[in-house]
Amino acid sequence: MTQAAPPDLSKLRIDRSLAPVVTRRRRRWLWWGGILLVVAAAGGWFAVQPRAVTVQTASVVTTYPSQQFVLLNATGYVVAQRKAARAALEQALAEERDAVAQLKRNQDLLAKGFVSAAAVDTAKARAEKATAGVANARATINVSEASSRNAQVAVDYTVIRAPFDGVILSKSANVGDLVTPFSNAADSKGAVVSMADMSTLEVEADVAESSLSKVTVGQPAEILLDALPDTRFRGRISRIVPTVDRAKATVMTKVKFDTIDPRILPEMSAKVSFLSQEVSAEQQKPMVAVAADALVQRDGRAVVFVIKDGVATAVPVTPGKKVGDLTGIAGDVKSGDKVVSKPTDNFASGTLVKSAK
């Protein structure tokens, strides 16, 4: 019996060239699967995160109740409206009296024959000389008086007399300068000093010609000085200059302070608000205010939603006076805070917000 040949195992081989292909495909699918898993997780996380709500915003501001009566505003500046010898004569008179008396005595003695005519002539000559001496002394006095008057005039030129009580603002001339107020001479000064009556300080403010109908003499006004921004001064129009500045198309108004404050100085910059009625000191006090549409009710209380670091927080406030579109508020808010304008009924504290462009 013939025995069968054993199988040829050398032909049994594994084609390993296909393995890398399968492995690469598997790895690729695993890589994409991982990416999809991360994306899905990120999407799920993002979906559950709170989103910022786009809102309109308003600012908390400082205002004044008196501003509700403003008809017109103007600018200007603070200005002030009002800057010997007599012994020789006595000696001559004495000599004249003695000479005249001596002449009379000699004339009486001549009539009685006790003196000669020559003695009388001598006495007469002395009397005439004494009379001339008196006249000369009088002339000398007149000259001296005239010289004295000239000297006094020269002294008067060295004295500065103020036309009114006031304060010296500046010195225009120095020692040796020539002061000639009515001359255009070279190197001459028109004044030694300039001064002002501080009780007559007013604000000169230009009003547009087209707005002239809004102002009248005696009209109340409120004055704000750049140098004193925290103080408002009451005043009124004292007069309106009856001419128009053609170049600027404006009319100058002069506004007088009701009370002069010692801090007010000439040439300070000023803003003037012309009012429709008188205002009280209470109406000139500052108050914190916000647009009325930023106030809403939550749990029976008025609140504003203050924005800080992108989060809106409800802050209880107490509404006060209305000034135009603004409402005064009292609470834990301050001028400059940003608040949500027109919040919806379901808007809640803690909402993430971003300001509308």
pLDDT given at position 339: 93
Of the pLDDT bands very low, low, confident and very high (cuts 50, 70, 90), residue 220 is very high
CA–CA distances in Å: residue 272 to residues 77, 266, 276: 10, 16, 13
**Helix (H) or strand (E) run with residue 44 in it:** helix 19-48
47 phi, psi to nearest 5 deg = -65, -30
Nearest C-alpha neighbor of 76 from the set 240, 312, 313: 240
How many residues are present in the chain? 357
CA distance 240 to 250: 11
pLDDT given at position 116: 76
Contact (Cβ atoms closer than 8 angstroms) between residue 74 and residue 206: yes
Between the ranges 16-30, 94-108, 292-306, 342-356, where is the mean pLDDT highest? Answer: 292-306
Q: Both tokens of residue 198?
A: 């501080």
Of the pLDDT bands very low, low, confident and very high (cuts 50, 70, 90), residue 224 is very high
Lowest mean pLDDT among 9-13, 57-61, 92-96, 201-205: 9-13
**Helix (H) or strand (E) run with residue 147 in it:** helix 117-157
Q: What is the mean pLDDT of residues 143-162?
A: 76
Beta-bridge mates of residue 351? 312
| Predicted TM-score of the model (pTM) | 0.56
Contact (Cβ atoms closer than 8 angstroms) between residue 347 and residue 301: no
Top pLDDT among 74 and 169 is at 74
Which class for 47: exposed (0-12), middle (13-18), buried (19 or more C-beta within 10 A)? exposed
Q: Mind listing the domains of the chain with CATH numbers?
A: 54-64+286-355 (2.40.420.20), 69-81+197-283 (2.40.30.170), 87-157 (1.10.287)
Of the pLDDT bands very low, low, confident and very high (cuts 50, 70, 90), residue 211 is very high
Q: Both tokens of residue 346?
A: 């379901």
Statement: residue 78 has pLDDT above 80: yes
Of the pLDDT bands very low, low, confident and very high (cuts 50, 70, 90), residue 84 is very low
Top pLDDT among 20 and 57 is at 57
CA distance 187 to 172: 12
Nearest C-alpha neighbor of 330 from the set 286, 270, 268: 286
Top pLDDT among 244 and 46 is at 244
Nearest C-alpha neighbor of 64 from the set 285, 337, 277, 273: 285
pLDDT given at position 83: 46
Q: What is the mean pLDDT of the chain?
A: 80
Q: Which residue has the tokens 């006076």?
A: 321
Q: Which amino acid appears at position 79 of this protein?
A: V
CA–CA distances in Å: residue 263 to residues 146, 198, 200, 233, 270: 50, 11, 14, 12, 13
